[in-house]
Amino acid sequence: MNELTDRRREEKDRRRNEILDAAAAAAADGGFDAITMDHVARRARLSRALLYVYFEDKTALYVALCERALELLNERFVTAIQGVANGRERLAIMGRAYVAFAREEPVYFEVLAHFEARNTQDLEEHMPRCLELGDRCHNLITTAIRDGIADGSIRGDVGLTDAVGVVLWGFMHGVIQIAVTKAGLLEHRNTNAEQLYDQALALVLHGLGPAA
């Protein structure tokens, strides 16, 4: 009985992941806002009725994509900083990992942009898993800040750790959004996305560095 239950669970998980893959592929064509449950059902090669067995509506599908996006981002952060003791360097690595995530997983970056624009009450009531995973990312950043202060790579008067963590996230997220959506404007301003990323990280690291 246990073996049969496990097989059924595995099959359910496999089908659910296939649906999420189909939703991400549909969103890559025209953005998440433009897709419908019909689009996803066709992409996943299943009936609408079966799709609704797994996801009751588009909001449920969005929440699941958001959870996957945050899981992917957490995995990238954890893998990237493995074995790096210096707190300031860990922040730099996570900044570059976030840039790579936006470039390599544009659909999931878009999903996160929607997630981060939602109000806190909505997250607590309807997206607790997303909020939990977002907190994990934030905690990796704040731990790096505290460790950097302790090891001397970050100035001791940098400010309140949680506030600094939110500022760093907001700054890099905004820079990435500009790079993704304003390529023509960047060219008009005699720069490009790579220069923008490099300059943003340089400014952040300079501001965090120990006082001369």
**Whole-angstrom distance, CA of residue 3 vs CA of residue 15:** 18
Q: Which domains, and CATH codes, for the chain?
A: 1-56 (1.10.10.60), 62-208 (1.10.357.10)
Is pLDDT above 70 for 1? Answer: no
Distance CA 55, CA 15 (A): 11
The model's pLDDT over 189-207, given as tens digits with 9 standing for 90+, comes to 999 999 999 999 999 999 9
- Upper half-sphere CA count for residue 91 (Cβ side, 13 Å): 33
Beta carbons within 8 Å of 90's beta carbon, 6+ residues apart: 81, 84, 140, 144, 147, 148
Closest to 148 (Cα-Cα) out of 94, 199, 102, 100: 94
Rg of the chain on CA atoms, in Å: 20
What are the tens digits of pLDDT across the range 54-113? 998 888 898 899 999 999 999 999 999 999 999 999 999 999 999 999 999 999 998 888
What's the CA gap between 182 and 178, in Å, rounded? 5
Give the CA count within 13 Å in the CB-facing half-sphere of 183: 2
pTM of the model: 0.88
DSSP 4-55: HHHHHHHHHHHHHHHHHHHHHHHHHHH-GGG--HHHHHHHHTS-HHHHHHH-
Question: Residue range 7-11: average pLDDT?
Answer: 83
DSSP secondary structure code for residue 210 in this structure: P
Spatial neighbors of 137 by CB under 8 A, at least 6 apart, are: 70, 73, 74, 77, 169
Q: Is residue 211 very low, low, confident or very high in pLDDT (cuts 50, 70, 90)?
A: low
C-alpha pair distances (Å), 205 with each of 5, 10, 63, 188: 51, 45, 33, 27
Residue showing tokens 């957490």: 74
Q: What's 56's DSSP letter?
A: S
- Residues 122-165 pLDDT 10s: 666 778 888 899 999 999 999 999 999 999 999 999 999 999 99
